[in-house]
Amino acid sequence: MPGISGPPAIKPNPYAGSIGDKVRPRITPFPVPPASSAEPVSLPLDAYIQASVQQSQTLDAAAAQVAQRCTTAAGFGFPIQPKPDDQTIISQFIEHQDGGLASLAQARAYGFQQPPGGLKLATKAVTPLPSFASEQRKHGTAWASVLLGSVPGARPGPSRLGCLRAANALVFGSLNGNLELGLVGNMLFESRDWADSDPQVLSAQRAWSACMAQHKLSFKSTVDLEAGRIWPNPPTRDEITTAVADVRCNHQVNLTNTYLTVEAAYQHAVLTQNMPDVQQSQADFTAMQQRAVQVLALPVADVLRLSRAQVSKAGFLLVPRVHSHEGT
């Protein structure tokens, strides 16, 4: 492959840490701030979440640029652009979700709904790209063939790479794009699972449930109340009343800060356990970014020629490199 040194850094699953062993990490939580504290509880994975999303978007943008150059060289436009997603917002919402609703103003105004600009922003991350069928109708079957290597719905036959898969193969070493399954996301969910079942959190949830019972509301946990059901939109008067009671009980037992303090301790423990994987992931990203720079410098004629190669003959591009840190 002209101008590119080394194999693509394809990482089907670089995460080889404590996930799956189900051994609760030992933690030493910091003192829980009072409910009245204006200082937010710092979560160790926040910085890693943001960096991971930015890195993924950087590589996705490089692959899109290569595909665009290839499609243009073939005489067609490239109307589909990758949209910056809000995975950071989604991940941080997940981190805080089990701590419950803590804003009395939000409860009074929106109940359990997200305010404008809240999670609705995050849902853009899972909004699909424009229907390919509608794009094909606009630009024609020849355009679809250049982009995908074959026309969707056409009679099966030998398939060419097409500009999209050629770009993905060059940048990621995968015909389908970035296959990294999420080192940081796995650590986040692992930490959240441990926090959900932590004795200190369960005690706070029981105290919250008892407080809610005094308001004649029967819920075992904030998850049952908020994440475990769908409230009508716009919120009803009953929903507002329940949300306000939720926040007041949350403050009374200091549930949010208890949960986040415990979760922060588990995040720290899981991050420490898996630091070799984190460091390797950073090194892999650096290598892939350098490779992307090389790919972007390739003559467009080389990329176009590759896009016309048959998929069955493209295996030389797909060289797996999976890092494992057994016993870490």
**What residue has token string 């407080």?**
211
Please give the structure tokens belonging to residue 124.
């853009």
Please give the average pLDDT of every successive group of 10 residues along the chain, which has 328 residues.
50 45 81 90 89 85 91 82 57 66 87 68 37 63 82 68 89 74 82 93 95 93 75 87 93 94 94 89 85 91 90 62 38
Give the number of domains in the chain. Answer: 1
- Residue 120 is predicted with a pLDDT of 44
- Residue 123 is predicted with a pLDDT of 36
Residue 241 lies in a domain: no
- Residue 117 is predicted with a pLDDT of 60
Residue 235 lies in a domain: no
Quote the pTM value.
Answer: 0.76
Contact between residue 163 and residue 308 where contact means Cβ atoms under 8 Å apart? no
- Residue 282 is predicted with a pLDDT of 85
Residue 3 lies in a domain: no
Burial 212-223 (b: 16+ CB within 10 A, else e): beeeeeebebbe
Residue 123 lies in a domain: yes
Residue 261 lies in a domain: no
Its domain, for residue 158, covers: 46-187+275-308
What is the rounded CA–CA span in Å between residue 252 and residue 274?
A: 36
- Residue 17 is predicted with a pLDDT of 44
What is the rounded CA–CA span in Å between residue 283 and residue 277?
A: 10
In degrees and rounded to multiples of 5, residue 19 shows phi and psi of -60, 130
In degrees and rounded to multiples of 5, residue 203 shows phi and psi of -65, -45
213-270 tens-digit pLDDT: 999 999 888 887 776 667 788 889 999 999 999 999 999 999 999 999 999 999 999 9
Question: Using the 8-state DSSP alphabet, how is residue 229 labeled?
Answer: S
Residue 224 lies in a domain: no
